[in-house]
Amino acid sequence: MTLTSKELLRAFLSMGGATLFFRGLSLFKEIYIANTFGLSSSLESYFIAFVYVGFPISVVIVPFQTSFIASLAKAKTEGSINNYQNEMFSSVIFITTFLIIAWVLILYGLKEYVFVNSEAVMSKVYSLLPFVFFNSINLILYGILQFKGFFSINGYLPTISPVCVLIGLFLYESLFGMINVDIIVVSIVLAAFIEFCILKRMLNVKFSFFGISKTLKNCLQKSYFLMLSSVVMAIAPMVEQYFSSSAQESGVVLLRYASIIPLAISGVFSTVVAVVVLPYFSKIYFGKDGGSLISKYWNFLVLYACTIAVAYFTVSIFSRYLLSIVYSDIISSGVEISIFNFNLYLVAGAFLCLSSLGVRLLSSMHKGKVIFVITIISISIEILILSIFGTSANLSIVPIAIICYFLMSFIGINMYIFFKVKA
């Protein structure tokens, strides 16, 4: 049984409100951090470590979540959804533990080649490992909530993280009269653990060795190419950070500040679509109503594109005023936040949202191989642009390369859907 149009609209409004609240808090957190730390080298090390340490999540857990949600529809029809939940939970604990150990060893071996300040970055990597562990498990548990239709909880529960960070920074500064980036790390680890405890209790999932190998095998078969796509996509931000840090001192932090608001807006759109549309597409697909699925996709894409165009154009008009208000403290201290880069990230965010919709459709149809090929082509173009212009041009080349990446993904995915997927 699939959602009706009214039910889908209610789900979007419910999830949209929750996501807007979460992204608003997250945006406030990011703005507070920016105005508090400025161009801190310790903060830059944290940003770099956060991207690198999150690689295992991007590579395996996100594809697994997609595969799990699609498989939940089938498990529900067979009456085995509770057992499958426990198998999912146990499998992700096993694979996450293995990945964390393997990835840390790889980073330790390559630290002198990939990090400018290797000791500072690796210190942050080690302290972020508990966050990676709990966040990986939480992503799978959130996936189960998505499938069961708990959209409000799915949207409001992640607000624990920005709240913990803000409280931690406020308390530390009040008590000791100073600021410390390590408080951010401790806060997000604590938040991930609290979310884990709440989700585990809500869903009543249990760890068991029984069924782990079978579940992992099935998921690997279904998400193999999607996983390869995620490897490629996860490499992109690491390449971008490498060129950002090479092109200019504090380049990572400056681009981060220029992208905070565009990423927050994109996050609202893409999260709502990911949470609501993937289960919706999966249920239609397993209902064997392919024609209806493709028709609904094109109708939704047109409406989605119009909404994004209006929203992003409106934001771009007020970009100068917005930046002057948001970054008043660091701008007054002499730091320049590029309006041009801000608008470039808006364009990149728009194509990210639009391309992610097609990815969700193809994921629900288990078309991971197609996503992989398109991703390879898209990121090759991005890396080519960065390799040619990255070291000689200014920081703007990074968001320009990102735009090319998401634009090519959007074109490739929708060309495949139009020509190859039968309506």
Whether residue 166 has pLDDT greater than 50:
yes
pLDDT band at 8 (very low <50, low <70, confident <90, very high): low
Q: Is the pLDDT of residue 189 over 70?
A: yes
Please determine, for residue 9, whether its predicted confidence score (pLDDT) is greater than 70.
no
Confidence of residue 80 (pLDDT cuts 50, 70, 90): low
Return the higher-pLDDT residue of 155 and 326.
326
User: Would the pLDDT of 217 be above 80?
Assistant: no
C-alpha separations of 162 from 20, 46, 193, 212, 320 in Å: 13, 16, 14, 33, 26
In the predicted model, is pLDDT for residue 410 greater than 90? yes
What is the arithmetic mean of pLDDT over 303-324?
Answer: 90
Which residue did the predictor score with more confidence, 262 or 283? 262
Other C-beta atoms lying within 10 Å of the C-beta of residue 112? 9
The burial class, CB within 10 Å (0-12 / 13-18 / 19+), for 40 is middle
Alpha carbon distance 76, 50 (integer Å): 36
Q: Greater confidence, 302 or 333?
A: 302
Query: Per-residue confidence at 1, pLDDT binned at 50, 70, 90?
Result: very low
- Binned at pLDDT 50, 70 and 90, residue 167 comes out as very high
User: So what's the pLDDT on residue 288?
Assistant: 53
Q: What is the mean pLDDT of residues 280-297?
A: 66
Rg of the chain over Cα atoms, rounded to whole angstroms, equals: 21
CA distance 147 to 142: 9
- Express as a percent the part of the chain with pLDDT over 90: 21
* pLDDT on residue 48: 87
Which residue ranges make up each domain of the chain? Answer: 5-420
pLDDT at residue number 233? 72
When pLDDT is cut at 50, 70 and 90, the band that residue 283 belongs to is low
- pLDDT band of residue 35 (cuts 50, 70, 90) is confident
Q: Is the pLDDT of residue 348 over 90?
A: yes
Residue 306 confidence (pLDDT) above 80: yes
Residues 372-386 have a mean pLDDT of 88
Q: Categorize the per-residue pLDDT at 76 as very low, low, confident or very high, splitting at 50, 70 and 90.
A: low
| Chain centroid, CA 134 distance in Å | 16
Per the model's pLDDT, the better-predicted residue between 5 and 255 turns out to be: 255
> Per-residue confidence at 86, pLDDT binned at 50, 70, 90?
confident
Mean pLDDT of 257-283: 75
What average pLDDT does range 88-113 have in this prediction?
A: 85
Nearest to 169 by CA among 155, 181, 159, 156: 181
Kindly write down the DSSP assignment for every residue of 135-155, as one continuous string. Answer: HHHHHHHHHHHHHHT-HHHHH
Residue reference for tokens 């293995």: 98
Per DSSP, 357 falls in state H
How sure is the predictor about 265, in pLDDT bands with cuts at 50, 70 and 90? confident
* Residue 205's pLDDT band (cuts 50, 70, 90): confident
Among 36-45, 54-63, 402-411, name the one with the lowest average pLDDT.
Answer: 54-63
**Mean pLDDT rounded to a whole number for the chain:** 80
pLDDT band at 208 (very low <50, low <70, confident <90, very high): confident
Contacts of 192 (CB under 8 A, 6+ apart): 130, 131, 134, 135, 138, 161
